[in-house]
Amino acid sequence: MNILEVRGLRKAYGALKVTDDLDLTVREGTLHAIIGPNGAGKSTLIAQLSGQAGSDAGSVRFAGAEMMGQPMHRRVRAGMSRSFQITSILPGFTALENVAVAVQARAGHSFSFFAPVAGEAALNEAAMEALARVGIQDRAHVRAASLSHGEKRQLELAIALATRPRLLLLDEPLAGTSGQEAERLIGVMRALKGSLTLVLIEHDMDAVFALADRISVLVYGRIIATGSPAEIRGDPQVRAAYLGEETAGEEP
Ligand SMILES: Nc1ncnc2c1ncn2[C@@H]1O[C@H](COP(=O)(O)OP(=O)(O)OP(=O)(O)O)[C@@H](O)[C@H]1O
């Protein structure tokens, strides 16, 4: 089943067409990576899908329902969530509080995953469960300011997971991480695979080709190819437009 069907998506900043009649189909349960050169429109696409940024035209169907025009909190409630940058983490709050606060803030007044009577306890339970899924439950009561960079990246993931998404949009989760931290995050993403659908933007090609079930290549606001890692690696158009000889020739 296709959990996400994007058709004719457009967004321009002045004369600059950032997403330009973009089509994308994501199958449920897959990790679908989107790669492309700097400035291709990847972050803008994630922002448009999550509802953080508006769109000029197009259709975004999630689990059969049209999301275009819906605000972000409605999309979160429908099961579509995105990870946020470290800047949205509150340094004086513990990891657990960060997850709980973010869930409430993002789901807004329509936060209704739990019966009202369950309130805070249920919220904390969900937050703790999310921390466990990303492997930092033992850091739950540590202030975010004291977490390592990699742990903050894990916390971002936990914040997104706590809304119990069916589809999680990840914008460069490995950015700025060291080798060991990146390995840990790759392990977390691998463990998440199958239990939900992941759409991943990532510059680390080794990680992309190791993790992805399918890859789409975005160039100048359009998807020029979609396929398995092997198909993308072998696609002459992709090699010419983006991957370059040294990456295209390597085996993961
Ligand atoms: N708010 C904005 N106002 C004006 N131009 C913008 C805005 N956001 C993005 N752009 C421009 O849109 C283009 C696409 O940016 P975007 O960040 O989506 O690309 P990207 O593929 O994620 O790039 P990178 O790989 O470098 O992160 C760029 O030329 C960028 O300068």
Interface predicted TM-score (ipTM) of this complex, two decimals: 0.94
Q: Is the CB of 221 under 6 A from ligand 1?
A: no
Q: Is the CB of 39 under 6 A from ligand 1?
A: yes
> Does residue 30 sit within a domain?
yes
CA of residue 55 to ligand 1 center, whole Å: 14
> Does residue 181 sit within a domain?
no
Residue 250: its pLDDT value, please? 46
Residue 252: its pLDDT value, please? 45
Which helix (DSSP H) or strand (DSSP E) does residue 245 occupy? helix 244-249
Residue 222: its pLDDT value, please? 95
Instruction: Give the residues of the chain that fall short of pLDDT 70.
Output: 85-87, 105-119, 243-252
> Does residue 41 sit within a domain?
yes
Give the number of C-alpha atoms closer than 13 A to the C-alpha of residue 251, restricted to the C-beta side: 0
Specify whether 68 is located in the same domain as 99. Answer: no
Give the total number of structural domains in the chain: 2
| Phi, psi at 244, each rounded to 5° | 80, 155
Distance between CA atoms of residues 161 and 33, nearest Å:
18
Specify whether 171 is located in the same domain as 48. Answer: yes
Residue 164: its pLDDT value, please? 83
CA of residue 50 to ligand 1 center, whole Å: 16
Ligand 1 nearest-atom number relative to CA 46: 18
Please report, for the domain that includes residue 130, its CATH number. 3.40.50.300
Q: Is the CB of 41 under 6 A from ligand 1?
A: yes
Residues sharing a CB contact under 8 Å with residue 212, sequence separation 6 or more, in sequence order = 31, 32, 33, 200, 229
Q: Is the CB of 18 under 6 A from ligand 1?
A: yes
What is the extent of the structural domain holding 126? 83-164
pTM: 0.88
